Amino acid sequence: MTDRDSRKIVIFDTTLRDGEQSPGASMNLAEKMEAAGALVDLGVDVIEAGFPIVSQGDFDAVLEISKNVRGSTICGLARCREADIDRAWEALQHAERARIHVFLATSAIHREFKLKMDQEEIIRRAVEGVKRAAGYTADIEFSPEDASRTEADFLCRVVEAAIGAGATTVNIPDTVGYSTPTDMRRVITTLRERVPNIDKAVISVHCHNDLGLAVANSLAAVESGAGQVECTINGLGERAGNCSLEEIVMALRTRNDHYKADTGIVTKRLVPTSRLVANITGIQVQRNKAIVGRNAFAHEAGIHQDGMLKERTTYEIMRPEDVGFAKTDLVLGKHSGRAALADRAKEMGYHLEHEQLDDVFRQFKQLADKKKEIYDGDIAALIEQQIHTGGERWSLVSYHVVTGSDETPDVTLTLAHGDEQFTKTMSAGDGPIDAIFLAVEEITGYTVVCKDFNVHSVTVGKDAQGEVMVQVEYQDRLYRGRGISTDSVEASAKAFLNAINRIAASTTEAE
Ligand code: KIV
Ligand code: ZN
């Protein structure tokens, strides 16, 4: 039940910026566009779309999202440096509503070892940065990085100066996930009591989850007066991640009696958005993850089941349908048409262009010939494959492997690169998949270290499609790849090629 006097908390989603910094979670442009569309449908107020100065890929993503995504404020990150801020604006200028987020570390440890600046220099740079950003847009966020480990007096001075220079949101990051809820309460209360112009800005909080306290810390900040929470879908992010969007939103909604605060999030979109981000990044959520995990609403114990049958509120504090769990996900079959597929894809959070839909529909028909029942998982896998592989340089034409126990496999592999085809025949490897990976390396010229390989079925049944996820290392960076097929060897080949294509795209960009 939501109180009509609730404060509205601004939800600032940083899945595409801080979340993407999670190892192996980097997304290409098409994937970021897809995720941004889903975040708008979810009702996110601000989407932090990237850090434009760090790479051409980040710049392009912020630019394209600014040009095409409507309904949320689009934000770009910048250090307190002219070049960063100018580049951020260049990417953001077409947004319906644009925010520049400038940050500068303030804690003693960062000042001394990372920045080698004294307190006065930090204040001067913070003010210069905010002023430069304010020359472009009125919506400016300032973050004193590592705020939670910054001396209280100095933090108050920096925040006051940043607001004085034009910051409209001041974000308090617990950058290293060190705070406890008591610390957070103290920091926010101190700022509200001691910064004279604090009422001119929204106080925000940005908590990392190193001690598993990101959501609790964010709630403590809201309780103390914060008006914005920064978070990511599935709690994605570096190390142990960021505050999880779905958890903070449902905690505020379910315990509105206590927090007297709510968000504009369309909670029925939480599960579809969580699944979409998991599919895009390849980072699945654990089964018992609060709100969106597969078991989040599963009652196994007999005593619970008995209570639930008599009255669901005996053991249930939220309804699964309120967060977007569908009763059943058996959806389409051989006779389903293009419109039905388009509808289902939309429901699942995907925004497919006309041609993308044509492509997915073709594959859907082929799949429906092979398996009778098409589940949501199958559709997501087909769409993801379309998004992941669109515009790839190398693609699989055919493979042939002959092998047996204690035999070295004989493989013939043909790949396409533009209009050309390349075939390699060799005797190598330990099993058919290894043989194909070696042949891919020979043809493409990329030698990688395979760090992770896993196969799972996307739905149920013996005829289910297999999804292969690989993670490979190339020149000290991790790249992921994903492939699906009802043939798991073919799925492996596609996943490996997908990773090679990501390497090819990013190394060409860096050159
Ligand atoms: O964790 C952090 O300090 C950040 C800032 C850039 C807000 O991500
Ligand atoms: Zn962060």
Q: Is 170 helix (H, G, I), strand (E, B) or coil?
A: strand
Q: What whole-number distance in Å separates Cα of residue 13 and Cα of residue 245?
A: 8
> pTM to 2 decimals?
0.86
Which pLDDT does position 276 carry in this prediction?
Answer: 92
Q: What whole-number distance in Å separates Cα of residue 433 and Cα of residue 496?
A: 10
Ligand 1 contacts CB of residue 106 (under 6 A)? no
Ligand 1 contacts CB of residue 103 (under 6 A)? yes
Q: What residues of the chain score a pLDDT lower than 70?
A: 1-4, 299-305, 308, 327-331, 388-391, 508-511
The number of helices, as runs of H, and strands, as runs of E, in the chain is: 17, 18
Which amino acid residue places its CA nearest to atom 8 of ligand 1?
Answer: 18
Ligand 1 contacts CB of residue 385 (under 6 A)? no
Which pLDDT does position 510 carry in this prediction?
Answer: 41
Let me know: does 408 contact 428? Beta carbons within 8 Å: yes
Which pLDDT does position 477 carry in this prediction?
Answer: 85
Which pLDDT does position 305 carry in this prediction?
Answer: 67
Q: What whole-number distance in Å separates Cα of residue 232 and Cα of residue 241?
A: 8
Which amino acid residue places its CA nearest to atom 5 of ligand 1?
Answer: 145
Cα 311 to ligand 2 centre (Å): 42
Which pLDDT does position 511 carry in this prediction?
Answer: 37
Q: What whole-number distance in Å separates Cα of residue 197 and Cα of residue 158?
A: 12
Ligand 1 contacts CB of residue 51 (under 6 A)? no
Q: Pocket of ligand 1, candidates 80, 103, 176: which has the most ligand atoms within 8 Å of its Cβ, to mutate? A: 103
Which amino acid residue places its CA nearest to atom 3 of ligand 1?
Answer: 175
* Residue 155: DSSP 8-state: H
Which pLDDT does position 507 carry in this prediction?
Answer: 72
* Residue 26: DSSP 8-state: -
- Looking at the CA of 237, name the nearest ligand: 2
